[in-house]
Structure 1
Amino acid sequence: MGLISEVLLLPFAPVRASGWAVRQVLREAERIYYDPATVRAELARLEEQLEAGEITEEEFDRREDELLDRLETALGSGTSTGNGTGS
């Protein structure tokens, strides 16, 4: 049955390969998005923008909350940077 199903599904191989590629890109994007080092760097840039007067206190608070939520999610899920600096 396995051989027959493979032969019948062969025309769909490009679609399956595209789906795999999309999943890999999504996985890498999520890894970078939730990387604690990336989030900390964004927090530092955000603070610099506030000190330079580029954003308001309200904007700072809103974006800081979003970044802290991302950091909490990353640390809670055990995501690491792969270089020993993560949890």
Structure 2
Amino acid sequence: MGLITQILTLPLAPVRGTVWVLDQVLLTAEREYYDPEPVRAELAELEQQLLSGRIGDEEFDRREDELLDRLEWLEANQQRLRANS
């Protein structure tokens, strides 16, 4: 970028900085949202609840199906994102 361009676009610097910060926040939020580890941890906790008798088989099956569907969706999304990178 030339000196004149920098001088002329100087008033836009705060906007560019704000856009960059928002982009970084969005990337971090997406990374956390698509992270399968919390779902895996929840599956492990669910199994512990079943083994300790805090939940029954029906509730375990229902919640496990929901978590496995979410995990499958997350892993498919990760593969799609890697393919597009």
Deviating above 6 A after TM superposition, structure 1's stretches of 4 or more consecutive aligned residues are 53-56
**CA–CA separation in structure 2 for the residues paired with 1:67 and 1:36:** 6
**Conserved in 2, the CA contact under 8 Å of 1:39 and 1:67?**
yes
**CA–CA separation in structure 2 for the residues paired with 1:32 and 1:19:** 20
Deviation digits for residues 7-42 of structure 1 (CA, Å, limit 9, x no counterpart): 111111111101000111111111122223233224
- Scaled by the length of structure 1, the TM-score of the pair is 0.58
**CA–CA separation in structure 2 for the residues paired with 1:71 and 1:8:** 46
Corresponding residue to 1:71 among 67, 72, 75: 75
**CA–CA separation in structure 2 for the residues paired with 1:26 and 1:36:** 18
Residue aligning to 1:82: none
Residue aligning to 1:7: 7
Q: Aligned letter for 1:67?
A: L
**Highest CA radius of gyration, 1 or 2?**
2
**Conserved in 1, the CA contact under 8 Å of 2:34 and 2:77?**
yes
Deviation digits for residues 34-65 of structure 1 (CA, Å, limit 9, x no counterpart): 223233224445x46x95367993x7645542
**Conserved in 2, the CA contact under 8 Å of 1:34 and 1:73?**
yes
Structure 1: give runs of 5+ residues left out of the alignment: 79-87
**Which is richer in helix?**
2
Residue aligning to 2:39: 39
- Scaled by the length of structure 2, the TM-score of the pair is 0.59
Structure 1 residues 41 and 13, CA gap change in structure 2 (3 angstroms): same
Structure 2: give runs of 5+ residues left out of the alignment: none
Kindly report the root-mean-square deviation, in angstroms, between the aligned alpha carbons of the 2 structures.
Answer: 3.1
